[in-house]
Amino acid sequence: MSLSADERFARLRLARTDRIGPVAFSQLVARYGSALAAVDALPGLVRKSGAASIPPPVETVDRELVAGRAIGARLLVLGDADYPAMLAALDPPPPLLWVRGDAALLNRPCVAIVGARIASAGGQRIARGLAQQLGQAGHVVVSGLARGIDAAAHEGSLATGTVAVLGGGVNDIYPPEHADLYARLADQGCVVSESPVGARAQARDFPRRNRIISGLSRGVVVVEAEIRSGSLITARLAAEQGRDVFAVPGSPLDPRARGPNELLRQGAILCEGIEDIERAFDTLRTLREPPAPPLRFDDDLDDAFLDRVAALLSPTPAPRDEIARALNAPVAQVAAALLELSLTGRAELLPGGLTSL
């Protein structure tokens, strides 16, 4: 069943509310049955605190929709029939995506190629050639429009289908020298962003961008990357999401080979060509269990219980069932308390049922 226009608008409004990330979004929609009901309930949900998460004015959301239409972008919200199935299976999925170009590419089999911004000529040649081979074999290549490996991957697969996931808004071209590549992607491929239209990328946006890159893809190939890099974060996210992680080996003399070589030590799949990727995809493996059904939340929470839950939190993420055990309380009641605490800035909800300060 397709979403109504009012529900789609409410989902955008809820997603743009301060302190509401993908985890809180999914829990609120599950708790109230719809984004419309969640938006109505939100102002009264948090007691006493003046820091309650209030949805943005209708006019603000209208302006974002107008800005999207002005650049020919399309809004996909969680629940739309053509929202990417691979992303919908994440726990939790991104609430929405702005898309320019061919949105149908998002529901085709995808493989991500990521790597160093300051890449070697050989690394760029490998990324470009591998992307071309993947495209000819029927895969859409996903990357992040960055310098180096990302750009080479997009160039190699532009003719067969490629998706660029941005940290800023769907019209935020970064780096600026990729303006021509961006224009060709918007015309022949697909450009995607979770951020508001017109937003400039901030450092905090890139982990979300990387999570979408891996989430869209069946596997992630790391070509060149230093140990502390966004590419290795993408690989870690891919492993957490149950995706295959591939690494192209390199010389120990090149710092850019340390990332892929370390991934190989950790059990990543050796990738010297498309044959290694297709062999891994053809191997029968146990699929991850589907996400647990949504918890039924208990609305009868007093301030004393909220304070007891908050006292158990620390900067180290903890599972909500562990918190429930410590309190000898139902998991659903603890989940409801954590949601309220997150809306007042006293907790941060993380994927996988984790919470931290």
CATH number at residue 325: 1.10.10.10
Distance between CA 277 and CA 287 in Å, rounded?
Answer: 17
Same domain, 152 and 277: yes
What is the predicted pLDDT for the residue at 181? Answer: 97
What is the predicted pLDDT for the residue at 286? Answer: 40
Same domain, 260 and 311: no
Mean pLDDT, residues 160-177: 96
Within 167-225, strands assigned E span: 190-193, 219-222
Same domain, 114 and 238: yes
Residue 288 vs residue 155, higher pLDDT: 155
Residue 29 domain-assigned (yes or no) = no
pLDDT in tens, 228-259: 888 999 999 999 999 999 999 999 889 999 99
Residue 58 domain-assigned (yes or no) = no
Same domain, 201 and 321: no
Report phi then psi at 307, rounded to 5.
-65, -35
Same domain, 173 and 313: no
Mean pLDDT, the chain, integer: 90
10, pLDDT greater than 70:
yes
What is the predicted pLDDT for the residue at 67? Answer: 97
285, pLDDT greater than 80:
no
Same domain, 173 and 119: yes
Range of the domain at 342: 303-356
Q: Distance of CA 28 to CAs 15, 32, 112, 125, 334, Å?
A: 11, 6, 31, 46, 14
Query: Residue 1 — pLDDT band, cuts 50, 70, 90?
Result: low
38, pLDDT greater than 80:
yes
312, pLDDT greater than 80:
yes
Number of domains in the chain: 2
Same domain, 241 and 127: yes
Same domain, 240 and 172: yes
Q: At which residue do the structure tokens 């603890």 appear?
A: 334
Q: 243: domain CATH number?
A: 3.40.50.450
Residue 55 domain-assigned (yes or no) = no
Same domain, 270 and 123: yes
Same domain, 194 and 340: no
Residue 11 domain-assigned (yes or no) = no
Residue 23 domain-assigned (yes or no) = no
Residue 27 vs residue 52, higher pLDDT: 27
Same domain, 200 and 343: no
What percent of the chain has a predicted confidence (pLDDT) above 70? 93
Residue 334 domain-assigned (yes or no) = yes
What is the predicted pLDDT for the residue at 54? Answer: 83
